[in-house]
Amino acid sequence: MIEPVQLPSPWRDVRLTVVVPTYNEAGNLPLLVERLVALPLPGLRILVADDNSPDGTGEVADKLAIEHPERVEVVHRPGKEGLGRAYVDGIGRALDGGAEYVAQMDADLSHPPEALPGMLGALLSTQAGVVIGSRYVPGGELDENWPLYRRALSGWANLYVHTLLRVRIRDLTAGFKIWRADALRDIGLERVQSNGYSFQVEMHYLATKLGHTILEVPIRFEERRDGASKMTTATKIESALMPFKLRTRHRNIGP
């Protein structure tokens, strides 16, 4: 586990909301929240967007909100609608709640919470609209326990999307990042139509089309601690078709 960067004031005090979509993550969520609230970021808040998980993740999140009443908020969604819809809902609520910066991260502990202060510092010290915690820039790592087929799928997906969309990001499918609130408002969540993991690609594509600087910093990507991956055949099909839809859907968007 890395040591979090100690940011100077007033950087460490900014209003940062971490949006965490959940579906069957009851075993991982308490540890994630514990590590997030321990960060030297007093302005950090956590918004859990749960898609009515049958394993009781929503109830676990409610207990965490009682334990950390000023830090944790829970959104109970009616059912599983996909990662993209949960993020649109959660990010929209974070912006409405006054967040100056919004982070995205998975609940399965594959993204190291301790990297957030360094990522925030990189965002605040540049003109970037978003900072990505990247597996595929120099210094980035993949857990040696990550299955070979997942490595191959991730690598192929990035190459495939790069070829079709010509977006200059090494980790196009990354799900760990921090956005400036004004960049998110410029993108406009109402434009985003992806339901599954292709949400990440659509957000990166829109940010690029609108002229926002995207910065990648290296992280170590860990294998999930508990539970199972939510990647389904339907999700893979949506992800494969999405680049073609994006080129048509957003062809008239520019800075």
pLDDT, tens only, 49-80: 999 999 999 999 999 999 999 999 999 999 88
Contacts of 130 (CB under 8 A, 6+ apart): 123, 177, 178, 179, 180, 183, 207, 212, 214, 215
Cα-flanking dihedrals φ and ψ of residue 175, to 5°? -115, 10
Q: What are phi and psi of 43, to 5 degrees?
A: -90, 5
| Percent above pLDDT 70 for the chain | 87
List alpha helices for the chain, DSSP H: 29-37, 57-67, 83-96, 116-124, 148-165, 181-187, 198-209, 233-249
Q: pTM of the entire structure? A: 0.90
SS3 content of the chain, % helix, strand, coil (to 5): 40, 15, 40
* pLDDT tens digits for range 208-248: 999 999 999 999 998 766 656 555 666 656 666 676 677 67
Q: Name the token pair of 227.
A: 């539970």
Q: How many CA atoms lie within 13 A of 225 on its CB side?
A: 15
